[in-house]
Structure formats: structure tokens, C-alpha cells
Amino acid sequence: MNAAPSQLFGLTGLAKAPADLPVLVVGAGIMGAGIAQVAAQAGHPVMLFDVREGAAAQARDQLATTFDTLVAKQKLTAEAAAHILARIQVVTALDSAARAHLVVEAIVEKLEVKRSLFQQLEAVVSADCVLATNTSSISVTAIANGLHHPQRLVGMHFFNPVPLMKLVEVVSGLQTAPAVADGIVELAQAWGKTPVHARSTPGFIVNRIARPYYAETLALLQEQAANPAVLDACLRSVGFRMGPCELMDLIGHDTNFSVTSSVYEANFFDKRFVPSLVQRELVDGGLLGRKTGRGFYSYAPGAEKPAMVPDSPALTGLPPFTTLAVVGTGPVADALHQRLAAHMPERLAEVARLPDAGWVGLQVGDAQLRLTDGRTATELGGVSAADTAVFDWPTLVAPTEVLAWAPSVRSSDAWATQAPLWLQALGFNPQRLADVPGLVVARTLSMLVNEAADAVQQGVCSAVGADAAMKLGVNYPAGPFDWLARWGAPAVVQVLAALDATYRGERYRTSPWLRQQAALA
């Protein structure tokens, strides 16, 4: 049923009168079933369709089991569960779409299949029906190509598991009508979700900004800077629920590699998104993670989970020193001084403060223990200050926080032994890495901020939207602009510059937006 554009987009009432407006969900897999559940819980009559015979009925039966579980846990009354399930109707033909005011597609991630489906739907649906795709990576503009009224197509990207995850990326293609995107935002809010506007670019918000979280760890593994357990522990220690290696094992390396490859190709092979040879080898070997029993870690029965690296050896006393100074200004320097006061109050009077040295850390005699600015310890120490070590960006919150550190290759054996003892005395669990630029946390957070900055500059999302998307969509402990506010644009730009100077090429180029923020600081 075709309609003139002026007749389209009556969606604003959908959020206001959910009991009156039917929703058709096409695709009865995990995502489709979850979307059907959320829509039905919000009060919509829901039609569930799948081309595979029996799939929709099976999904409804599984939802019945889910509701029984919720009732048993007293999270839902039996009466409410019965009413919700009664709203979900299995349909066997797309002709049922004639009754729908909204169609949400959650089928296979293939452009031509999605495009064909929406062209079929457009011949059936009413003039004021909105068409939504749950695609996680395919261009909404491309899916709409060939529709009589592409203005009515919008991305409505949920995250798995749909009933629990709050984020919905509302994705506008080139021809999506603003009224449609705004209506979907209202609807998502009525469904108890947190919607974020996004423009249809490769990866949208979450899958784009998240790439460095995996990519930097994979790069460090390729350089043999540390093992997966150490890298995971460092990032868990700053608040991430899972380290990159265990998260990739959970997602599946085939899936993660495919998304990275898709974003890389869609961005015309931009080196910032280049896939990893380390992950490619895992995929080629069938070591896909939990679903195959082995990825970075073993998931065989009885296998020991490497949840955390071991503690550093027990400290028997502070290392000897002739003179000691806390160097630099800011939160890290202040925290170092406070921790020294807690551990050695009797000698605090001997600890000097050197605020104007141009770096942050400890000066122990002639040796330096420096907060990373992206440069390696070897580069910072040069020849004249060979006893140099660097440590990673800390949260200064977590007890016995795992903290990466690295000595200069010119450091004496004595300093390479003493440096981690000082970190341990300050309340950290130091883990030695190879002397790589930016260590783990500093380079990962800087690249996440950099990617988010480019997304904002390119109009993909707002800074507020980026923070919300990353915290709600992938459970980050903070958003990229939260980290930017904490560390400051100059520090982030310095880390990126050091990475670029070491590796050259386009991967670590600094976002113009971020460079401007650093100039304004």
C-alpha cells in the first residue's frame, strides 16, 4: 500500500497510546524475541513472524518459559505474565503487516535480504506505518534504497539481551524523516529504554567507538608486550567489567573479527580500523572463544579461569633511598603524596614536592618513576637519566589496583627491581610490560576518546550521546568524554602523538576536534 509522503509518519501517537497500536516483529531469533517481549510488556499487541517454519511459535514458547522464571523470582505477577504473553501473536504471513503501525526487522545481517524484505513490506503496510531495522552495522541509507518512501525507514538498534540492555541507537539514514527518528526516540523511552540519536555511518556509535578497546590490546599482544591475563587485569582495574581478551572470547572471535573487518572496509580501509593478525589466526584455527572451548583462554571442563593476575611479591619494606620527591602537579601527584604519607608518615618531612619539573611521578635519588605521557621509558630516560620507569594511568580508587609499568631498557637491574616495589608501597599491584608507548590504559582510553571525538565532529552523535551509548550499550565504566574531562585534552593528544611518532601511519592520527580542545585548554 503506497502513500504520498505527506500522509506518512503518524508515529508520534505510538508512544502515547501503546495499547492501540500493533507492532510487527520480523525475525524470531534472540533479538527479535527480545524486541517482541519489550514491546508486549509496554502494552502493544505484537505480531511475531519468521520465514523459518515453526521459529516464531518456538520463540513464543521460550518467552512463556522466561515469564515463568520471572514469576518464580517474583519479578512479575502470574497475571501480568499471562497478559503479556497473550499480546504476542504468531503470524505466518507478511500480509499481517497491514495492521501494524510499526514494523521492526531483526533478520540476518545481509543488505540485500533486508532491502528485499522492506520492499515487500512497503507493498502491504499502511500509510502511517514506520519501518525500523535492528541492523548493527549495515547502512540505513543503503537498506532504504529502492523504497517508494525511504523517509519512513529508520534504524532501531537494540543490544543483547534486549529486555535488560537500556540503550537503543536510533539511526537516521540520509532520507529518514526527522519526525520518524523523533517518534522512535519517544517510543523507545516509553518502552523503558534510553535512546540515542545516531547518523548512519559505519558502526554507528557503539561498534565504531568500541573498536580501539579490542584493537589496542590485540596490537600489544602482537608486539608481545604482555600476556592476555595481564592486559585484561589492567583494564578491569580501571572499571571495565571484562578485559578485551575475555570479552572477545565471549563475543566470539569470528563475530568480533567480522565486525572489525566490516567497519574497516566500510571506511575505505582506514588504517585506524585495520583488523588484527592475532585475531585472524584464532579465527583461522577455529579458536573462537567460549563457544568452541578455547580462544585466548581455555574453557574446557576443569580449566582454570585466569580472572586476575597474581599479586606482586609481598613487600618486606620500602626500598632504601637517599632523597625522595613527588614531582609535578594535579590529582596523580597529590595522590602519590597522600599515599606516601599513609605508608611512611615518620619520614614525610623528608619528601620534597617538585611541582615545576614538567612530569608527574616520583624522583628516588637519581631514578625517575614517571606517569606515562605516551612516550616509552627508554625515550624519556635517554642516556643521561637511564634509571627511568613509567607507569600507566591509574584510577586512584580501586584497592591494590593492577597497574602496568615498564623500565627503560637502559635501566640498571637494581632500579628495575626497585621501581615496582615503590608502586606496591603506594598501594598498586604492578605488572611489568615491555617498554611500549602508552602502556595499556593510557593508550586504550586515548584511542577511545579520539574515536569519539571524530564521531562528534562528523555529526554521528553528540558528546552526551557518545557517553550514554558506551556506558549503556557496552557497560563501560565511563564515557569517552568523561575520560576526556578527567585527563584533559592536552594529555590525551600527547599520548596519541607519542603513539603516532612510534608507529607512523594513519592509525594514531589525532582528531581535529580533539586537537582544537587541547589548544583551548
CA dihedral sign of residues 206, 207, 212, 216: positive
Whole-angstrom distance, CA of residue 99 vs CA of residue 389: 68
CB 231 within 8 A of CB 245: yes
Distances 51 to 35, 95, 108, 137, 339 between C-alpha atoms, Å: 17, 13, 11, 22, 63
Q: Cβ(97)–Cβ(54) under 8 Å? A: no
Residue with cell 623500565: 407
For CA atoms 475, 460, 177, 94, the dihedral sign is: negative
Give the residue from 64, 22, 62 showing the smallest Cα distance to 42.
Answer: 22
Distance, in Å, from the CA atom of 112 to the CA atom of 452, rounded to the nearest integer, reads 30
SS (H, E, C) 3-20: CCHHHCCCHHHCCCCCCC
The single residue listed with the C-alpha cell 594511568 is 393
CA–CA–CA angle 168, 237, 463 (5° rounding): 35
C-alpha 104: how far from chain center = 24
Distance separating alpha carbons of residues 223 and 246, to the nearest angstrom: 19
Q: Is 289 in contact with 281 (CB distance < 8 Å)?
A: no
CA 342 from centre of chain: 36
What element of type H or E holds 370?
strand 367-371
State the catalytic residues: 136, 157, 169, 207
Torsion angle defined by CA atoms of residues 267, 269, 274 and 277, in that order, rounded to the nearest 10 degrees? 140
Block residue for cell numbers 578527567: 486
- Distance from C-alpha of 276 to C-alpha of 257, rounded to nearest angstrom: 8
Which residue do the cell numbers 497475571 mark?
A: 79
* Structural contact between residues 157 and 136, judged by C-beta atoms closer than 8 angstroms: yes
Is residue 242 within 8 Å of 250, Cβ to Cβ?
Answer: yes
* Three-state secondary structure string covering 379-441: HHHCCCCCCEEEECCCCCCCCCEEEEEEECCCCCHHHHHHHHHHHHHCCEEEEECCCCCCCCH
